[in-house]
Structures are given as structure tokens and as C-alpha cells.
Structure 1
Amino acid sequence: MHELPPFHLAFPVTSLAHARAFYGELLGCPEGRSSADWVDFDFHGHQIVAHLAPQEARAVAAHDVDGDAVPVRHFGLVLSMADWQALAERLRAAGTRFVIEPHVRFAGQPGEQATMFLLDPCGNALEFKAFADRAQLFAR
């Protein structure tokens, strides 16, 4: 696998204080630059930017994926299995309400993965996943 360049994602939030508490404190993403209207975070080497835009917050549509109602608009990370398990435990201990509880999807099939979905306090959906065999990331 080749070295991946960091991605950049800008997304709307209803509150920068809520974004800082969720991304900075709960997820442990170091804060970068900011202004009165936005703040950026180091999302495991990727730059995500929370822009204050309450009018853009809206309900997220869902599609059925292996029996789960997966939020269509979402972002997240593919973690190692150990990091995924540690994050799931940390989120549970913090009382996180999951959209989709941590579990294994596509069991015994190509692309088998551990996955969990949650919403940030502003309604943005995130997915964190892991593969026992990372070569399965794009398996068909």
C-alpha cells in the first residue's frame, strides 16, 4: 500500500464550542488554526475544518447496508483493530449514543469490517471502521 496524502474536509457545525468538545476533547484531535467562524483539527494526520454554519445542519438520509441504516453523508477513519476497539470503549465510557453500535459487518464475506456510526453534537455522522485484514478495504 502506498503512502496516502492527507485529506482536507470542511463541514458545517452549529457550535464551535460543541465541535471543540467533541473533536478536540472526546476524539483527542489536536486543534490547529481557528477564527471566530471556524476551527481546524488534526484528524489522525488529516485536516478537518468545522465551519460555523447553523443553517447547513440538517437531518442525514440513510441507506440499508448489510441490515444497518447507514447515514449517507458521513466521514471517518479506517483504524487498526486495536485502535478501533480502544475508541469504541472510550466512546461507550463517555456515554456516546451510537447511530449504529460497534459491530462486525459483512461477516465471513469480502470486506468484513468492524464498524460504528455516531453523530457529533451538530448532527454530522461519522464512521470508524477497522479490518482484521486491511487488504480487504477494497475487496469485492
Structure 2
Amino acid sequence: MALSPFHLAIPVYDLATCRAFYGETFGLSEGRSSAQWVDFDFYGHQLVIHEHPKTATQDSAHTNPVDGHDVPVPHFGIVLSWEEWEALAERLKSFGTQFVIEPYVRFKGQVGEQATMFLLDPCGNALEFKAFKDMSQLFAK
């Protein structure tokens, strides 16, 4: 199934720091930009960071319990192949990333078993990166 790229615009209160974070830490290619926003190629999707005053969720994230962990809400991310996920986890560790939830496999032996990790960007936006060894489990009940 071919997917259409999504567009996601998020608020950041420190554009320069987040520009470096997404560009250097993740190695994302930069697209168009201005003094107030920057486009990134987020694994084939369009992520735009927009300069904006700090939001309540960036200051103090809400969480919901999932598989024994406190998952930050809201969050966004991408589903990668297992190999891409492992490589990203190693890359993030090499940059000294502080994880909200360290890379691990959740729902082991259950429907929806997946590798996942959560982290915050420098402005407190929560990101999740996950992978399935069996992609048919993505929407399984």
C-alpha cells in the first residue's frame, strides 16, 4: 500500500536549537525555511517546526499508562522497519539522548508486539519511534 506523505507542523520556542536537533541528531534533510519556520524531510513526510511561545504541553506533559510506562501525550513519530529502528536507537544513544522511555520491546508475545522509544525535542515536544517485526500487527486487535 502506497502512503501519501503527511504534513505536521509543531510549535518550538527555540527555533535554532530545534533546527540543529532535527537536522543533526536525526540527520533530517532541511527543505524551505524562513526566520520563523523550517521544513524537514521526516522519513518522507513533511515536518515543519514553527517558532511559537512555549505551550502548556511543552512545559508539563500529560501521560497515560501503556505497558507499565507513562507515555507522554500528545506525541508524534514514525513507524520504521526493525533495522531502521535499531539504527536510530543506536544513533540517538550516541548523541547522549535522554529518553522518556528507553528503547525496548513492548507487548512481548502479544498482539501488537513492537519496539518503541520516546524522547522529547529541546522544546518539550514528545516523539515516539516504533517498529514491528510483523507489519501486519500495526492495526491488529
Q: TM-score of the superposition, structure 2-length normalised?
A: 0.96
| Counterpart position of 2:54 | 55
Query: Structure 1 residue 58: deviation in Å?
Result: 2.9
| Counterpart position of 2:119 | 118
Give % identity.
66
| Counterpart position of 1:26 | 25
Query: Structure 1 residue 90: deviation in Å?
Result: 0.7
**Secondary structure of the corresponding residue to residue 83 of structure 2:** helix
Pairwise CA RMSD of aligned residues? 0.8
**Matches of 2:20 and 2:38 in 1, distance apart?**
12
1:1-140 to structure 2, matched below 5 A, reads: 2-56=1-55, 57-140=58-141
**Secondary structure of the corresponding residue to residue 104 of structure 2:** strand
Deviations 1:54-100 (A, max 9, x none): 23243210000010100110000100000100100111111100000
Read off the aligned partner of 2:85 and give its amino acid letter: W
Between the two proteins, the alignment pairs up a number of residues equal to 139
Q: TM-score of the superposition, structure 1-length normalised?
A: 0.96
Query: Structure 1 residue 20: deviation in Å?
Result: 1.2
Query: Structure 1 residue 139: deviation in Å?
Result: 0.8
**Secondary structure of the corresponding residue to residue 101 of structure 2:** strand
> Structure 1: which 5+ runs fail to align?
none
**Secondary structure of the corresponding residue to residue 54 of structure 2:** helix
**Secondary structure of the corresponding residue to residue 59 of structure 2:** coil
